[in-house]
Amino acid sequence: MRKSLRDCFSVVSVLLSVGVTFFLLACSRQQENLSSQIIPQGHSETLNLLYWQAPTILNPHLSTGFKDSEASRITLEPLASYDNQGNLIPFLAAEIPSRDNGGISPDGKSVTWKLKEGIKWSDGTPFMADDVVFTYQFVTNPKVGSTSANNYVSIETVKAIDKNTVKVVFKKSNPAWDLPFVGGGGMILPRHLYKNYNGENARQAPENLIPIGTGPYKVVEFKPGNVVVYEVNSHFREVDKLGFKKIKLKGGGDATSAARAVLQTGDVDYAYNLQVEVNILNQLAAGGAGKIKSIFGGTSERILINLTDPNKATIEGEKSSLKFPHPFFQSKQVREAFSLAIDRDTIAQQLYGVTGKAISNFLIAPLQYNSPNTSYEFNLEKASQLLDKEGWKDSNNNGIRDKNGIEMKIVFQTSVNPLRQKTQEVIKQGLQKIGVGVELKNVDASIFFSSDPSNNDTVEHFYSDLEMFTTGNTNPDPSTYMKTYMCDTIPQKSNNWSGDNYSRYCNPAYDRLWQQAVQELDTKKRQKIFIAMNDMLVNDFIVIPLIHRADVVGISTSIQGFESTPWDFNTWNIKDWKTYEVDS
C-alpha cells in the first residue's frame, strides 16, 4: 500500500505535531529535570526493537505489510524520500532533480537522477545505475507479482546513461515524477543478486530473508515471524556516525505488552505500531521509561466490502471470484445500510481517543485532497428502512433478514489485536440490531498481511464478506494509492493474488478519472479529479472509512534522533538514532 503538491505541506506539518501529548504529562517534569543531565554515551552496543506484528519477509516489493517494509528499510534505501516537512531528502541520489538543475525535462516527460559516487552494497559490490534499472524491471515484471508495481505504471523506460546516472522516461507528461524510486516503495534491489530471480521464482531468492543493501545496517540473522538481527554495514558511507553496533528486532506478543515494554519497564528501546486503547496507553505512559511519538499521515482504518461471493468456488477452487457476484453487496442501498449501522464516534472516542478521529473520506492527506462532499451518519432506523425497501426482511423470525432463501449472514475478519477486536464488537452490535448475522474472524497479522499466495487468510484472498485494517498513501502524491480500486489491480488466482483491489471493484468511470489524474499538470484540476475519485468510492459505499489513525510508536527516553514522517517508514532515518545515558 504508495506521492509535487508542496503547497499543502505547511498544513500537513501542523498535523504532524498533533498526537498523544497528554499521555506525557505524567512524566514531563521528570524528563525536564533529567534533560540537563544527559550526556553522550557514544557507540552503543544494541538497539532493541519490538514488533508485535513480526516481519515475515525482508523484500518490501513482495510484501503487503508495513511491518515487513519497516524492517527492510533498515537495510535497503530509495533514491530519495520525504521528511515530515514535505522536503525531498536524497539517499542514494546525489541531488534532487529539478528544472533548474536539468533533472526534470521541460515537458515533464522525463526525470534524470544523478547517483552518489562510491556507494557499495553491504557485500562490497559497487552500487550502480544498473541496479536502479533492474529494480524497475523486477518490480514491473508481472511474473514477480510485486506489491510495489503501481508506483511504476507511468514509466515508459528506465535507462542507465552512465554508471552514476539514471533517466526515467514517462509515457506522458507526469506530475508525479517523484513517485518511482522514492520513499518506502522506492527501495533499490541489488541486480547482481536478484537477476536470476526476476520471475516466478522471485520469492525463492535468498536475499528475501538475508537482504544485501546500501543502508546503515545489514541482516546477519532472520527467523521469519520471530527475530531479525542486524550489524553495522562496514561499507556504509557514514559508518563512523552510526549509533549502534547491533540491532535486534524481536517479534511476537501483542500491542499492549509492546507498549508496556517500552513505556513502563524499559525493556526495549522502540515499540512499533502501538494500536492500544487510549486509556491503557495513558496509564503505561506514566511509567516514565519511554515516550510516545505519534503522527497523523495518510493512513486510516477502514472496512472493505467484498463485491464477490466468498462462499462460492470455481472449478479450480477459487473463492471470491469475479465469476460470482456477492449475493447482497451488489446493492448500493445494502452497502449504505451497513455504513449507517456503524457507530464511528463511539469507536473514535472510547477506543482511540486522541490517537484517532472518525472520518468519512478514503483519501485524507495531504489536506488539499480531503473531500468536503462526504459525511458519515449513525442511524439504525434509516439503515433498517433501506434494507426493508430492498426486500431484506426476517421472514422466518430467527432475527436475521433474508431474501429469496438467502440469509443476510456475514463473516467479518481483521487481524488479531485487542483494539481491533473491540472495534469489531461495536460494529457487530450495530449490524445485529438491523438484522444482520455476524461471525467475527481474527487472523494473526503475520498471516493476514503476508502476501503469501498459497495462504487463503491473506487480505488479498479476502475469503470473507467484510475485512478491516489500516492503510493509506505513503507518498504526498496519491496516484498510486488511488489506483487501488482500478479494474486491473484485482488480486485473483490468474495473477498469483497480486494487486491491492481486494474488494474486486471494477468501474470504467473510476479508471478514466485515474488516467486523467496521472497526466494532469494543473494542480487545481488534479485536486478536483482525486476528490471526485474519493467521492465515487465513499458515496457509493464501496469502502467504509472509519478512523484517521495516528501512527503511534514508543521510544525509550534514552533514544535521540528519531524522526517520523508520514511519507516513509519509521526506520527511514535509523542511521541518526543514538543512545544517551542519564548520569545518576
Apex 218 CA angle, 212 and 222, nearest 5: 90
Q: Which segments in the chain show pLDDT lower than 70?
A: 1-43, 581-584
What DSSP character marks residue 343?
-
Output the pLDDT for position 581.
Answer: 56
- State the DSSP H helix or E strand holding residue 425, giving kind and residue range, or none if neither: helix 418-433
18: Cα separation from own chain's centroid = 20
For 366-377, how does the pLDDT look when each residue is reduced to its tens digit (9 = 90+)? 999 999 999 999
Q: What angle (nearest 5°) sits at the alpha carbon of residue 453, between those of residues 437 and 219? A: 120
- Based on DSSP, count helices (H) and strands (E) in the chain, helices before strands: 15, 21
**In a 3-state reduction of DSSP, which class is residue 445?**
helix
Beta strands at 409-415 and 437-443: parallel, antiparallel or unpaired: parallel
Only one residue has cell 523506460, namely 157
Please tell me the pTM assigned to this model: 0.80
514 within 8 A of 487, measured Cβ to Cβ: no
> What amino acid is encoded at 240 in this protein?
D
| DSSP per residue, 209-231 | TS---SSSEEEEEEETTTEEEEE
Under 8 Å CB-to-CB from 66, ≥6 apart: which residues? Answer: 1, 273, 449, 471, 569
- Runs of H (alpha helix) within 159-239: 191-194
Pairing state of beta strands 543-556 and 270-271? antiparallel
Q: Which residues of 396-434 are buried (b: 16+ CB within 10 A; e: fewer)?
A: eeeebbbbeeebbebbbbbbbbebbeebbebbbebbeeb
Residue found by looking up cell 501529548 in the block: 21
Query: DSSP per residue over 463-477, as a string?
Result: -SSEEEEEEE-SSSS
Specify the length of the chain in residues.
584
Could you tell me if 542 and 506 are in contact, meaning their C-beta atoms sit under 8 angstroms apart? no
Residue whose cell numbers read 528499510: 73
Q: How many alpha carbons lie under 13 Å from residue 325 in its C-beta half-sphere?
A: 7
- As to burial, measured by CB atoms within 10 angstroms (0-12 exposed, 13-18 middle, 19+ buried), residue 388 is middle
Q: Are strands 466-472 and 290-305 parallel, antiparallel or unpaired?
A: antiparallel
Is beta strand 402-403 parallel, antiparallel or unpaired with respect to 244-251?
unpaired
pLDDT digits (tens, 9 = 90+) for 198-231: 999 999 999 999 999 999 999 999 999 999 999 9
Report pLDDT for 87: 94
Say how many C-beta atoms besides its own lie within 10 A of residue 339's C-beta.
Answer: 23
Gap between the Cα atoms of 88 and 97, Å rounded: 10
CATH number for domain 298-549, candidates 3.40.50.10540, 3.40.50.720, 3.10.105.10, 3.30.590.10: 3.10.105.10
Q: Which three cell numbers stand for residue 22?
A: 497528554
Peptide bond into 366 cis (omega under 30): yes
Contact 458, 497 (CB under 8 A): yes
Question: Torsion-angle region of residue 580: left (phi > 0), alpha (psi -120 to 50) or beta?
Answer: beta
Cell of 405: 432463501
Amino acid at 542: I
Q: What residues contact 354, with CB distance under 8 A and at least 6 apart?
A: 18, 19, 20, 21, 22, 278, 550
Question: How far is the C-alpha of 77 from the C-alpha of 75, rounded, in Å?
Answer: 7
| Separation CA 414–CA 402 (nearest Å) | 25
Calculate Rg over the CA atoms of the chain.
24
Q: What is the distance between the alpha carbons of residues 158 and 518, in angstroms, rounded to a whole number?
A: 18
Q: How far apart are CA 68 and CA 157, in angstroms?
A: 28
**Rounded Cα distance, 368 and 5, in Å:** 9
Per-residue pLDDT, 324: 97
Helix ranges (DSSP H) in 494-568: 508-517, 523-539
SS3 271: strand
For residue 113, give the C-alpha cell: 537522477
Strands 409-415, 466-472: pairing kind: parallel
Other Cβ atoms less than 10 A from the Cβ of 241: the count is: 12
Q: Where are the alpha helices (DSSP H) in 320-389?
A: 332-340, 344-346, 380-389
Ranges of each domain in the chain: 298-549
CA distance 58 to 219: 9
